[in-house]
Amino acid sequence: MTDRFKYREDREAYSAARVRALEALLIQKGILTDKSVDTVLGYFETKMGPFNGAKIVARAWVDPEFKARLVADTPAAVAELDLPAGMAGAEGEHMRAVANDPGVHNLIICTLCSCYPWPVLGLPPYWYKDPTFRSRAAREPRAVLAEFGVDVPESQQIKVWDSSAQIRWFVVPERPAGTESLSESELEALVTPESMMGVALAKAA
Amino acid sequence: MQIRFEHFAVTEMMGEPDSPPRANGTLCFTNDWERTVFGMALALAREGHFEWDEFRDELIAEIAAWEEANPVDRSGWDYYERFLAALEKAVAKSGLLDAGDMATLLADLRAA
Which value does ipTM take for this structure?
0.91
Smallest CA–CA distance from A195 into chain B, residue: B24
Say if residue A55 is in the same domain as residue A19: no
Domain range list for chain B: 5-111
Tell me the pLDDT tens digit for each residue of A88-114.
Answer: 555 445 789 999 999 999 999 986 655
The verdict on residue A1 lying in a domain is no
Say if residue A52 is in the same domain as residue A40: no
Catalytic site includes residue A110: yes
Are B47 and B40 within 8 A, CB to CB? no
Question: What's the domain range around A133?
Answer: 48-197
Poorest-pLDDT segment among A5-14, A52-61, B70-79: A5-14
Interchain contact, A25 vs B35, CB within 8 Å: no
Which residues on chain B are in Cβ contact (under 8 Å) with A9? none
Contacts of A124 (CB under 8 A, 6+ apart): A113, A116, B14, B15, B25
CB neighbour burial string for B21-57, b if at least 16 within 10 angstroms, e if fewer: ebeebbbebeeebbbbbbbbbbbbbbeebbebeebbe
Say if residue A115 is in the same domain as residue A26: no
Q: What is the pLDDT of residue B10?
A: 86
Tell me the pLDDT tens digit for each residue of B10-58.
Answer: 888 877 889 888 877 778 898 999 999 999 999 999 999 999 999 999 9
CATH code at position A114: 3.90.330.10
Catalytic site includes residue A113: yes
Phi and psi (nearest 5°) for A179? Answer: -110, 15
- The overall pTM is greater than 0.80: no
Residue B97 at interface with chain A, using a CB cutoff of 8 Å: yes
Q: What is the pLDDT of residue B2?
A: 44
Interchain contact, A116 vs B36, CB within 8 Å: no
The verdict on residue A205 lying in a domain is no
User: Count of domains in chain A?
Assistant: 2
Say if residue A28 is in the same domain as residue A64: no
Interchain contact, B46 vs A25, CB within 8 Å: no
Interchain contact, A123 vs B104, CB within 8 Å: no
Instruction: Classify B27 as helix, strand or coil.
Output: strand
pLDDT surpasses 50 at A1: no
Instruction: List the catalytic residue out of A36, A114, A135, A164.
Output: A114
Question: Under CATH, what is the fold of the domain B5-111?
Answer: Cyclin A; domain 1 (1.10.472)
Tell me the pLDDT tens digit for each residue of A149-184.
Answer: 999 999 999 999 988 767 889 999 999 999 999 999
Tell me the pLDDT tens digit for each residue of A16-65.
Answer: 999 999 999 999 999 999 999 999 998 888 888 899 999 999 999 999 99
Say if residue A29 is in the same domain as residue A55: no
Mean pLDDT over each residue of chain A, to the nearest integer: 88
Say if residue A38 is in the same domain as residue A87: no
